[in-house]
Amino acid sequence: MEPTALDGISTNTPHTSGGDATHIVQPSYPVRVWRNLSRMYTYYLEKTTIWTKSRWVAFFIACAIYGIRVYFLQGFYIVTYGWSIYLLNLFIGFISPQIDEDSNAPVLPTRDSDEFRPFQRRLPEFVFWKRAMQATIIAIIMTFFPFFDLPVFWPILLVYFIMLFTLTMKEQIKHMIKHRYVPWSHGKKSILIDLTAAAALYGKKDSFVQVLDSKTFSKTVIQSNELWVVEFYADWCGHCQQFAPEYEKAAKAMAGIVNFAAVNDQAVMGPYGVQGFPTVKFFGDDKSKALDYNGPRTADGLVKYSISQVKKAAKDRLAGKSKPKKAKKDQSGGGKSKGKADTPPEGNDEDVIVLTGNNFEKLVMQDEKSVWFIEFYAPWCGHCKALAPHWTAAATQMKGKVKFGKVDATEEQSLAQRFNVQGFPTVKLFPAGKKSDTLAVDYQDARDTSSIVQFAEKYYTFAKEATQLLNQEDFEENCKNNVCVIAFLPHILDSGAEERNAYIKEYNDAVRANPGIPVHYYWSQGGDQFDFEEALRLQFGYPALVAVHLSKGHYGVHRGGFDEANIRSFVSGLMAGKVTLDPIPKNLPKLRTVTAWDGKDAKPAPEEDSEL
């Protein structure tokens, strides 16, 4: 993944009537005030995400205040009805899954990432609380305005609400029973609970399906001369639960003709490229070539497919084209499979810090000096198990530079929701400097040690101070695929060395405050690159600050003061997508090559003798 700061940032591209020139729109004072208030509101709201119990206590206190107001005023029943209906809708969204299990899924094997996707609420807990709290506060405010106290016979509203609540919850409960989930957890158990309370889908005494694992799979299937249909499944998978009765029926119908087996073991699944559940494969005479079953998830579909494979095998044997044979190599034996990463170097498990809801804020979010690389995982996830040794090895290699952590998202569900974890493993990098939920960078590169280390190194090794921009080559090399922030300082003749050093110190203080943010920082003497400055509309005076990303084709101008706080705010806003950007003009002038500043005051020009 390319760690650029301009990804996802809104752009503003108003044009003047004169060709390619762009015009930067300066928002009005009220708009700027509103934006600042909005940022403050968002900032402090984010701080409350970890205080779940306190937030809900505050909500119920607000509800009590509203109830007391309505009781003593003996009115505002229509407001209460609307408020109650809104809260009911929020509650339904909270207890509903974001992705419904579809019992009519068309074919197998599925390529969905069901194995690696946790139960996701349609309305996350924090959003549920925020909207409910906002609605309650608005309802309280409305009780101070008689205009909203519409005359209504309140018993009718109460009956309507009870009927609506009953019908809505009835449908919701039917949905829960159909798809076998409970929308809450007990202690720290998984949020997805099988309502059948069955420990496993197969393995009953009268079952025609053989349950196999890594110890029995090779001997039973690979080394046999018989034909096998094998389902790779997981007990918690909704599709698997719905498919199990059909699979049992097919196994019973084909008994004595084709064997049916079920496997719930990651060690067996890996070599066969199982990417989702359930996956069904057919093992014929050549056990080294497992065939995917792409038919419907019904007993009839499985039986028809099995019969067709039996006919094909019989014809091939009759014609001498094939005969029962064993695989040359046991694919489930744990050997290296094609396309798999090499064995990672050894790592120390102690170099990966275990993070929980109790220590995450202190260790990560309040640590401004360190870069944090964090994996959100699930203990049952096959990809997570494959990543684990590489993650540990990378943590050991980067020890002292980048901190590595891991979060069990099945136990720390509030953290998973907070950072929008929708699959396992999810890996996020938190740059050094002030931490924010919005500044976390998603890692989407390869899951091997070298790729992880390379990505972490990139964030660790960004410059810790600004350097002078001397030529076009440096500009293109460092600003093509990354963000560059360039400060144009007053000419040395106008400021002197002392004032320039003061500007550079203020600039570098801001740079050092955010050492892990992937930004290159430069400064240039005002006027040395006049054409370049003019093209980016920087003629309003010095010092001036601009952010440029060549490959993205956008730039943003800082309009605030030139001090550490304002510069940091500009860069943070840039990374969070809160800075308005404009397109880089076509034919942007190239930079002139200049001489590096020697750190001294400018030498006065020699005076020329003049004749009187």
**Rounded Cα–Cα distance for residues 455 and 364 (Å):** 19
> Is 381 known to be catalytic?
yes
DSSP 583: E
> Is 479 known to be catalytic?
no
Q: Which of 63, 384, 479, 484 is the catalytic position?
A: 384
Task: List, in sequence order, every residue forming a beta bridge with 441; answer none if it has no partner.
Answer: 429
Q: How far is CA 421 from CA 98, 425, 435, 443, 610, in A?
A: 13, 9, 18, 12, 78
DSSP 528: T
Q: Which two tokens stand for residue 300?
A: 């009839």
Q: How far is CA 274 from CA 252, 266, 522, 584, in A?
A: 25, 9, 49, 46
Termini Cα distance of the chain:
71
**Rounded Cα–Cα distance for residues 194 and 241 (Å):** 9
Q: Which two tokens stand for residue 598?
A: 């020697």
Q: What is the crossing angle of helices 564-575 and 492-513, to 10°?
A: 60
**Rounded Cα–Cα distance for residues 401 and 235 (Å):** 41
Q: E strand or H helix at 407, and its extent?
A: strand 402-408
Neighbours of 429 (CB within 10 A): 23
Neighbours of 314 (CB within 10 A): 10
Residue among 122, 154, 10, 66 nearest 556 (CA): 10
Q: What is the DSSP string of 355-367?
A: --TTTHIIIIIT-
Burial of 82 (0-12, 13-18, 19+ CB in 10 A): middle
**Rounded Cα–Cα distance for residues 246 and 252 (Å):** 10
Phi-psi region at 590: left, alpha or beta (left = phi > 0; alpha = psi -120 to 50): beta
Residue 371: what residue type? V
Q: How far is CA 508 from CA 514, 520, 521, 567, 575, in A?
A: 10, 12, 9, 10, 18
CB 579 within 8 A of CB 485: no
Residue among 59, 66, 85 nearest 144 (CA): 66
Full strand arrangement of the beta sheet holding 467-468: 467-468, 519-525, 483-489, 544-549, 554-558, 582-583
> Is 240 known to be catalytic?
yes
Q: What is the 3-state secondary structure (H, E, C) of 139-166?
A: HHHHCCCHHHCCCCCHHHHHHHHHHHHH
The residues annotated with a catalytic role in the active site are: 237, 240, 381, 384
